[in-house]
């Protein structure tokens, strides 16, 4: 059973999400919060698999709430998905840097929302290749690129896999591209995440672009 925490200051949004999620046999909503501070407290209390977190809320916004969840070792199993009204708005990249595993727009198709929750619960990033490219083009390219030495702990193979993850490829696609097994890809991804202290695949994407391993389009 996938356990979900809803964090949104709009009661109607929470009610709609709850009704949709709890109609599924494999998903349950364990708690709701109307602000980020309460959301963090409920995450610590209930240890959900997925936290659906709005960006703009009173008391504490979704980015700070995400940052606190990601920084708490007790909440390492909580996968944060940011909810936004506008798709690639100015907050999305900051949310990914803070530790979110992906994002969804609030008016997404119900089937896509349910699939997104299941993908997030597995620890996979909710970043399609198209979304990744647009995100990088619009936000990462505006930021100064730090030294690539952040990637020094990675082997050449791990760097190659990380670059392909950053381009939005799945483990199976990477395996076919590199002519290795999906299990080997998974091992390389896991080792890269451990060495870079990345919470999930989404943060590998951030590291890859910020370090210059993968360059945004000019």
pTM of the model: 0.72
How much is the average pLDDT of 158-174? 87
Say if residues 205 and 165 touch (Cβ distance below 8 Å).
yes
Nearest-angstrom CA–CA distance, 22 and 4: 10
DSSP classification of residue 126 = B
Return the higher-pLDDT residue of 170 and 52: 52
pLDDT one-digit tens code per residue, 28-70: 999 999 999 999 999 999 999 999 999 889 999 999 999 999 9
pLDDT of residue 18: 96
Work out the average pLDDT over 192-217: 78
pLDDT at 92: 76
The whole-number pLDDT of residue 90 equals 66
pLDDT at 69: 95
β 79-84/2-7 pair status = unpaired
Q: How confident is the model at residue 135 (pLDDT cuts 50, 70, 90)?
A: low
Q: How many CB atoms lie within 10 A of CB 9?
A: 17
Sign of the torsion angle spanned by Cα atoms 9, 13, 19, 21? negative
The predicted pLDDT at position 140 comes to 57
pLDDT, one tens digit per residue, over 178-203 is 999 999 999 999 999 889 888 777 77
Confidence at residue 95, expressed as pLDDT on a 0 to 100 scale: 82
Express each pLDDT in 101-113 by its tens digit. 888 888 888 888 8
DSSP helix/strand/coil, 102 = strand
């Amino acid at each position: 059973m996938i356990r979900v925490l809803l964090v949104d200051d709009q009661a109607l949004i929470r009610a709609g999400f709850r009704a949709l999620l709890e109609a599924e046999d494999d998903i349950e909503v364990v708690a709701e919060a109307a602000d980020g501070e309460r959301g963090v407290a409920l995450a610590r209390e209930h240890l959900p698999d997925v936290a659906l977190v709005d960006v703009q809320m009173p008391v504490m916004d979704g980015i700070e709430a995400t940052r606190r969840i990601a920084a708490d070792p007790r909440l390492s199993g909580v996968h944060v998905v940011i909810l936004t009204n506008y798709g690639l708005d100015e907050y999305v990249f900051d949310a990914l840097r803070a530790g979110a595993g992906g994002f969804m727009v609030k008016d997404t198709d119900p089937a896509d929302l349910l699939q997104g929750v299941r993908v997030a619960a597995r620890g996979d990033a909710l970043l399609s290749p198209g979304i990744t490219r647009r995100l990088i083009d619009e936000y990462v390219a505006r930021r100064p690129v730090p030294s690539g030495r952040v990637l020094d702990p990675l082997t050449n193979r791990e760097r190659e896999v990380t670059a392909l993850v950053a381009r939005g490829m799945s483990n199976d696609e990477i395996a076919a591209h590199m002519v290795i097994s999906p299990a080997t890809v998974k091992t390389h991804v896991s080792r890269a995440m451990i060495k870079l202290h990345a919470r999930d695949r989404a943060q590998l994407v951030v590291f890859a672009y910020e370090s210059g391993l993968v360059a945004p389009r000019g």
